[in-house]
Amino acid sequence: MVSVSGAMRRVVVCMLALAFSLPALAAKPAHYVLGDTSARTPGQVRPGLLLMGGGDRNFEAMRWFMAKAGNGHIVVLRASQAGEIGEEFFKEVGGIASVETYVFSDRESATDPAMLRSLKRADGIFLAGGDQSRYVRYWRGTPVAAALDAHVRAGKPLGGTSAGLAMQGEYLYGAMDGGSQISPRALADPLGPENTIEADFLHLALLQGVITDTHFSERNRLGRLIAFVAKAESIAKRPLIGLGVDEDAAVAVEGDGSARVYATAPGAGATVVKGGFAQVQAEDQAMNLDRVDTVVAGVRSVLHLPSGHVEKPAAERHYAVRKGVLVAMESPLLVIHGGAGVERASMTPAEEAAARIALEAALRAGHAQLSAGKPALDAVTAAITVLEDAPQFNAGRGAVFTHDGRNELDSSIMDGTTGKAGAVAGVQRVRNPITLARAVMDRSRHVMMVGGGAEAFAKEQGVPLVDPSYFRTEKRWQQLQQALKEEAKAQASATPLVLPGKAYFGTVGALALDAQGHLAAGTSTGGMTNKRYGRVGDAPIIGAGTWADERCAVSGTGWGEYYIRMAAAHEICARVRLSGEGLARAAEGVINGDIPKAGGDGGAIALGADGSVTFPFNTEGMYRGWIGVDGVPHVAVYAGEGWAISPAKAP
């Protein structure tokens, strides 16, 4: 009699033998189909490359791509998600015979015969976004990469977005460590292991000598692209160029290499970084470059690849990199504010006109310093001095009154290059508190002085003093009287006096970037109407209302207590430095995110060493303005007013 255990052993042996005798099942990518793949291609198939920056679908650019494919059969390759992009191409972009989407989950899928047959007969191939390290691992050195090269050599169009664009250059950032590199880290060690530059993936003639990047302006990626070019040049041993495409842009490249930009947002385009850097970088050391030249291709430009030459460029910008910090050169810029909390209902047309005139005067005063080659500190001081002398703003001459009917003034200034700072608080006789703050920084061992001691120092240093009556304006006096009435009414009814956020507003500020790429920041205020007990807000507190370092400068205007608790100005610059956030995103997160969440409100101006600018605020209006190389002042008051800031030289 055969034992049960013996029988089981024979069954297992037979099953294993059967398994080893069967041919191995090849891995297959997931496959999604829309349309008739056997239909005749309606039009002529022509060569082209579509380089999309990764934002919302640019349908005009996509239709250019579909036309290049003869409005025939499109194959989409990706390594995540499913067939959604194919549905968008077929149903929303439209005008094509079919679209097939293949989703890869491993390298073995790159040998699937059915998929390779689809690639061979495709009229156009599109590489979707996703994790570019998967594309390198799954496709490099496989029949898929060979098929892509053959497709382009056959005169057929190839497109890609986000990671699908990043894969197309001769050299590429592979993100092989599983992360996504940010500009500060990339510049801190350009030849380091985190800048994972790969090669020998695709071999496209029009992108030879090119390394691409996407989500460019939106994710603050100029710095990392410069670092990528440096590392790729160390591998190639020859000059290369970088091509960064903004999220809201796409570059459509004809078969002869001429290209145009399709944009879905004003100012979106593509930036060419000219390589051939003069200084050789070293591993484990921060980047230092005396000069980096860039050219921006806009919707009216013609870009030529692979040379990177741009006809009718939207801008030409010059940078340097100092100890890993990217700075704009030869592009002095001044940014100012006259306070958030502006309300249409509380201002007459004449008052608004006067405020705009004063803002323009402040911009011209600061610009005069910058155009004369003076440092950023001089421009900040000059601009704020004009704003302090203008009665339209709550600083200097236009300061509000305290509960006791006095004017108590606060101010601060900071040098982004040296980290030096000066501040004063509670002064009552200093005509221009910003000049005293500057004196504290330049001529003392201290950072902040207050009250009578600060005024004694002012007298010693020859800083102009005035009789307190100089600061009295009838409008501010009447605001105090109204506040006192409201306070008395609340006390009489035994109800707490709840002040609106605008009661805490009223500040002026200025930021400057000089021709040498150095930053400075300053802020000045009269505080809040009916304040008591020597209350001091954020304006004179370094890190709260004012901050400048080598890469970022901020001046705040809002509910000071919240700015102090958040260290708001410093927090914005810390996010830029530590997390690699773009300036606009960092400022938005603090001013329109963290501060309102905590119960405060207000605004700020922020200026990057790379020339980036942002003006976040969450009130009806904020007095603000900027002036660049051309000396033309730009001012705005209410939300919705704006300008496309392009301070760099443009032909």
Model confidence over 600-625: pLDDT tens digits? 999 999 999 999 999 999 999 999 99
pLDDT digits (tens, 9 = 90+) for 627-639: 999 999 999 999 9
| Residue where a domain terminates, one of 329, 345, 370 | 329
Distance CA 433, CA 292 (A): 39
**Strongest mean pLDDT among 20-24, 219-223, 514-518:** 514-518
Strand ranges across the sheet with 158-161: 30-35, 98-103, 73-78, 124-127, 158-161, 48-52, 249-254, 258-263, 302-304, 309-311
In a domain, 11, yes or no: no
pLDDT reported for residue 179:
81
Same domain, 357 and 488: yes
pLDDT level of residue 504 (50, 70, 90 thresholds):
low
Distance CA 163, CA 172 (A): 10
Same domain, 60 and 194: no
Same domain, 270 and 413: no
Least confident of 101-110, 441-450, 482-491: 482-491
pLDDT reported for residue 16:
37
Distance CA 176, CA 188 (A): 18
Predicted TM-score (pTM) of this structure: 0.86
Distant-in-sequence, close-in-space partners of 5: CB < 8 Å, separation ≥ 6 = none
pLDDT reported for residue 361:
98
| Residue where a domain terminates, one of 285, 314, 329 | 329
pLDDT reported for residue 219:
87
Distant-in-sequence, close-in-space partners of 133: CB < 8 Å, separation ≥ 6 = 174, 175, 176, 178, 196
The mean pLDDT value for 447-452 works out to: 97
The mean pLDDT value for 35-62 works out to: 94
pLDDT reported for residue 580:
85
Same domain, 377 and 321: no
| Residue where a domain terminates, one of 168, 193, 220 | 168
pLDDT reported for residue 645:
65
pLDDT reported for residue 647:
47
pLDDT level of residue 414 (50, 70, 90 thresholds):
very high
**Residues belonging to the active site:** 507
Same domain, 380 and 488: yes
The mean pLDDT value for 408-418 works out to: 97
Q: Which domain holds residue 104?
A: 25-168
In a domain, 8, yes or no: no
The mean pLDDT value for 46-68 works out to: 94
In a domain, 651, yes or no: no
Q: Is the pLDDT of residue 51 over 90?
A: yes
The mean pLDDT value for 208-224 works out to: 93
pLDDT reported for residue 489:
86
In a domain, 16, yes or no: no
Residue 362 to residues 75, 160, 491, 550, 632: CA-CA distances in angstroms?
A: 57, 47, 42, 24, 12
Same domain, 529 and 439: yes
Q: Is the pLDDT of residue 19 over 80?
A: no
The mean pLDDT value for 457-468 works out to: 97
Percent of the chain topping pLDDT 90? 85
pLDDT digits (tens, 9 = 90+) for 78-117: 999 998 999 999 999 999 999 999 999 999 999 999 999 9
Q: Is the pLDDT of residue 11 over 60?
A: no
Closest CA to 512 of 409, 410, 321, 384: 384
Q: In terms of pLDDT, which residue wins out, 123 or 528?
A: 123
Same domain, 325 and 341: no
User: Which DSSP symbol is given to 538?
Assistant: S
Same domain, 359 and 480: yes
* Domain count for the chain: 3
Whichever domain contains 131, its CATH number is: 3.40.50.880
Same domain, 465 and 367: yes
pLDDT level of residue 218 (50, 70, 90 thresholds):
confident
pLDDT digits (tens, 9 = 90+) for 227-242: 999 999 999 999 999 9
Same domain, 448 and 544: yes
pLDDT reported for residue 506:
79
pLDDT reported for residue 26:
55
In a domain, 249, yes or no: yes
pLDDT level of residue 302 (50, 70, 90 thresholds):
very high
Distance CA 604, CA 293 (A): 30
Whichever domain contains 438, its CATH number is: 3.60.20.30
Same domain, 369 and 399: yes
Closest CA to 553 of 371, 366, 376, 422: 376
Mean pLDDT of the chain: 92
Helix axes of 143-153 and 113-121: crossing angle, nearest 10 degrees: 10
In a domain, 647, yes or no: no
Q: In terms of pLDDT, which residue wins out, 581 or 389?
A: 389
In a domain, 650, yes or no: no
Same domain, 584 and 479: yes
In a domain, 264, yes or no: yes
pLDDT reported for residue 505:
61
